[in-house]
Amino acid sequence: MRSESLLVLLFAAFATAHIVISYPGWRGNNLITNDTFPYGMQWMYPCGGIGTTTNRTYWPTTGGAVAFQPGWFRGHERANIQVNIGYGTNGPDNGPVDMSNQMVPVIQLLGPSNGPYPGTVCFPQVPMPKDANVSVGDKATIQVVEQAQHGAALFSCVDIEFAAPGDPKIEKVTEDNCFNSTDFGFAEIYAIATTNPVTGKSYDNVKNDAVSTRSSLGLISTVVAAGLWALL
């Protein structure tokens, strides 16, 4: 069925691992634990131990899809997921100055089990942050953060160059590269305290577009991927 099945097979050999960004690409394989990264590369802030890359992938100036496979390690029956963007190349390692601009505010992923699991999550239209001001040709880095049940976070990134929406250089978003596996659930995370004691600002009045578009379950079946997993 999907190219994801192939990825499942490719990476099944090192199932001690965490997030694979399947769209629009990733910096490279950081599903690695060795003497340099004894706890595993993906725990390294900000991009899971891989430096800024030059083989950038194209992404629309108006925002676009981000898809990833979150279940490459045990301990993620529940995980908090967040997607951020950092602009430019003037920061450390010729990457962004910081990665603090949120695109997908934290959402809880409910995985099918606490062991490693297959499956894909896709946000089909991740919006640019409100204050973003990007032009065709600008460079940026998208960061996917997966916070595990014990509180520590895994990082994976992809370096992008902005292109005009519809530019053929941008990989097409399809049901094959952007879907939610049916065995994932999602939960919203919100605070009970609604007023900041210092500013007096009431959080009840803060409307968040991303929250209103969240649905409770994924859509498209991944029978083949799930079947493959059962064989491994």
Residues that bind ligand NAG (CB under 6 A): 25-26, 28-29, 32, 34-37, 53, 55, 57, 121-124, 133, 135, 158, 178-180, 186, 213-215, 218-219
- Check if the beta carbon of residue 212 is closer than 8 Å to that of residue 110: no
- Check if the beta carbon of residue 117 is closer than 8 Å to that of residue 223: no
- Check if the beta carbon of residue 106 is closer than 8 Å to that of residue 189: yes
**Considering the complex, what minimum distance in angstroms separates the CB of residue 198 from ligand NAG?**
28
d(CA 27, CA 50): 7
Closer residue to ligand NAG in complex, CB, 13/195: 13
Closer residue to ligand NAG in complex, CB, 190/201: 190
The greatest distance separating any two alpha carbons of the chain, rounded to the nearest whole angstrom, comes to 56
**Considering the complex, what minimum distance in angstroms separates the CB of residue 109 from ligand NAG?**
8
**Considering the complex, what minimum distance in angstroms separates the CB of residue 220 from ligand NAG?**
7
Instruction: Name residue 40's beta-bridge partners.
Output: none
CA dihedral for 102, 103, 105, 110, sign (positive or negative): negative
**Considering the complex, what minimum distance in angstroms separates the CB of residue 143 from ligand NAG?**
14
Closer residue to ligand NAG in complex, CB, 99/141: 141
